[in-house]
Amino acid sequence: MPSTVAVDGVWKYFGDFPALRDIRMEAQPGSCVALLGRNGAGKTTLLRILAGLSQASRGQVRVLGEDVRHEPARRRIGMLGHGIGVYDELSAVENLTLFGKLYGLAQPRRAALEWLTRTGLEPVRDSLVREFSRGMRQRLAVARVFLHAPEVLLLDEPFTSLDDRAIALLQQLLREAAGGGCTVILSTHQLREALELATHVSLLHRGSLSYSGERTAQMLADPGWLYRSYGDPG
């Protein structure tokens, strides 16, 4: 089966410092890769390169067989970074309609309303985002990412600052997406939530990939085992 995400010998330098060192990994359709690692391991840097937000200093990244900066590839990627990526001075429905238009949806407003209903934000659809609670903003960000039915989902710390209801919603959406053939790559420090979802695990340690393989039952039973075996035990 062809890989949806193929990372081949990627290096990333910030000045002289190599933030990523010769990363090689692949992800198949329907797989969910938990990208783990301590702070500064390079998870966000790798996800930004995969999303086309940053360029690799060396090496090549192909998403769905294309250069990630090509428009057709970006149309099929959903990225949720550290920020929620929605505008405070626009309403919830205006935000989603805007991104629906940018992603070329035929009926952006209709898709926006559907996702507002799915994320429980329909009652506040015309309220400005600046009036939203943190949890509501996160749910809107989740709706933004799923709005265009992406085939590759890149999520950087998606569970951070979510309440239990929003975590459950996100886990359900990710399961549905992966079940539908979507490739999910998510970085997180919340091992248990990530490992419950993951089919594969990649561990970054000081910019290098120290483990990459299927998620095993041992990892679920003892989430700290991976760090003790392949990473920095401290």
Among 98, 113, 167, 220, binds another protein (CB under 8 A): 98
Cβ distance to another protein smaller for residue 83 or 234: 83
Name residues whose C-beta falls within 8 Å of residue 190's C-beta, 6 or more positions apart in sequence.
159, 160
C-alpha to C-alpha distance for 112 and 104, rounded to whole angstroms: 13
Give the side-chain half-sphere CA count within 13 A for 119: 31
Could you tell me which of 149, 25, 92, 69 has the C-alpha nearest to residue 35? 25
| Binding segment toward another protein, per CB under 8 A, in 49-57, 160-168, 186-194, 226-234 | 49-57
- Least distance (Å) between residue 73 CB and another protein: 9
For residue 63, list its beta bridge partners. 5, 66
Cβ distance to another protein smaller for residue 98 or 220: 98
Name residues whose C-beta falls within 8 Å of residue 72's C-beta, 6 or more positions apart in sequence.
64, 66
**Interaction pattern, residues 151-190, with another protein; x per rule: CB under 8 A:** ----------------------------------------
**126 forms part of the interface with another protein (CB under 8 A):** no
SS3 assignment, position 7: strand
Q: Which residues bind another protein (CB under 8 A)?
A: 48, 51-55, 69, 71-72, 74-75, 77, 79, 81-90, 94, 98-99, 101-104, 128, 137, 144
